């Protein structure tokens, strides 16, 4: 059950692919009883439900184009207006530019954003994590190269073929990380300048990382209501 002894908690989580962002976001969502809002999930849901912004988003996506800031902000605004965000929310995948960050902050009600958490994991570590990942082509189970199923090439759960995805090769991962670093550095500077950035060492056991996140976050929490 989430904590209830404070006002709304509004968090943004940053981290390189493979930094363990999903694991920590799920823990924070449970701790505070707030929805974990992933941009990718939100986009798919808006398109599926056929909202006005969802229809606009589909046009750009079908054309293979990036969504303009106003469409992305509209989608986010729709999602943040839902009743389940009364106690706050956790955003993952938005904002992606300093301009989007400024737009988001104008959108947020009184009390603003609680904190922007940056899970810091060295690039070589996440490259190793992702490039050692193998996946079953049938059921999607993920393995490490140390697992027997990865070594044998056969999934222990369904018997499907276990392979390395094309986008999990070291070259592909480093290319994505270069783009992430280029896009995210100005964002981290944006939140740091406002005293909202909490950078946390993301290397190690997930429980230890979660403890570091909580320690970094607690001074930012709003006062009890």
- The helix (run of H) or strand (run of E) holding residue 134 is strand 133-136
> Are residues 20 and 119 in contact, defined by beta-carbon separation less than 8 angstroms?
yes
User: How many residues appear in the chain?
Assistant: 225
Among the listed residues 77, 30, 35, 34, the one whose alpha carbon sits nearest the alpha carbon of residue 52 = 77
At 53 the pLDDT is: 87
At 1 the pLDDT is: 42
Q: What is the pLDDT of residues 40-53, one digit of tens each?
A: 888 888 889 998 88
How are beta strands 142-144 and 162-163 bridged, if at all?
Answer: unpaired
Annotated catalytic residue within 44, 87, 133, 212: 133
Active site residue 21: yes
Annotated catalytic residue within 27, 44, 58, 96: 96
Annotated catalytic residue within 48, 82, 151, 165: 165
**Strand 88-92's sheet: what is its strand order?**
36-38, 88-92, 9-15, 115-120, 197-201
Annotated catalytic residue within 16, 21, 129, 134: 21
- The helix (run of H) or strand (run of E) holding residue 91 is strand 88-92
- The helix (run of H) or strand (run of E) holding residue 163 is strand 162-163
| Domains, the chain, with CATH or none | 9-35+82-220 (3.40.50.300), 37-81 (no CATH)
Active site residue 133: yes
Active site residue 176: yes
> Are residues 202 and 121 in contact, defined by beta-carbon separation less than 8 angstroms?
yes
CA 139 from chain center: how many Å? 23
Active site residue 96: yes
Cis peptide before 95 (omega within 30 of 0): yes
At 30 the pLDDT is: 96
pLDDT, one tens digit for every residue, the chain (225 residues): 455 567 899 999 999 988 999 899 999 999 999 999 998 888 888 889 998 888 998 998 888 887 888 889 999 998 999 999 999 999 998 998 888 999 999 999 878 999 999 999 999 999 999 999 999 999 999 999 999 999 999 999 999 999 999 989 999 999 989 988 998 889 999 999 999 999 999 999 999 999 999 999 998 888 655
**Which tokens go with 84?**
């389940």
Among the listed residues 88, 76, 96, the one whose alpha carbon sits nearest the alpha carbon of residue 29 = 88
Q: What is the pLDDT of residues 74-124, one digit of tens each?
A: 999 989 999 999 999 999 989 988 889 999 999 998 789 999 999 999 999
Active site residue 27: no
- The helix (run of H) or strand (run of E) holding residue 138 is none
At 109 the pLDDT is: 82
């Amino acid at each position: 059950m989430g904590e209830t002894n404070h006002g709304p908690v509004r968090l943004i989580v940053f981290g390189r692919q493979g930094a363990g962002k999903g694991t920590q976001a799920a823990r924070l969502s449970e701790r505070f009883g707030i929805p974990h809002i992933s941009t990718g999930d939100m986009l798919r849901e808006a398109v599926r439900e056929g909202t006005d912004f969802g229809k606009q988003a589909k046009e750009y996506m079908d054309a293979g184009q990036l969504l303009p800031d106003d469409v992305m902000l509209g989608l986010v605004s729709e999602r943040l207006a839902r009743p389940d965000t009364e106690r706050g929310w956790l955003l993952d995948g938005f904002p992606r530019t300093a301009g989007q960050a400024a737009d988001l902050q104008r959108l947020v009600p009184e009390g603003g954003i609680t904190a922007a958490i940056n899970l810091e994991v060295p690039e070589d570590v996440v490259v190793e994590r992702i490039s050692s990942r193998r996946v079953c082509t049938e059921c999607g189970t993920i393995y490490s190269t140390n697992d027997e199923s990865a070594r044998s090439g056969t999934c222990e759960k369904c018997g499907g073929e276990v392979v390395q995805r094309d986008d999990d090769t070291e070259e592909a991962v480093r290319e994505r990380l270069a783009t992430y670093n280029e896009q995210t550095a100005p964002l981290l500077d944006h939140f740091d300048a406002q005293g909202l950035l909490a950078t946390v060492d993301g290397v190690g056991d997930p429980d230890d990382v979660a403890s570091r996140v909580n320690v970094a976050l607690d001074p930012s929490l709003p006062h009890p209501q």
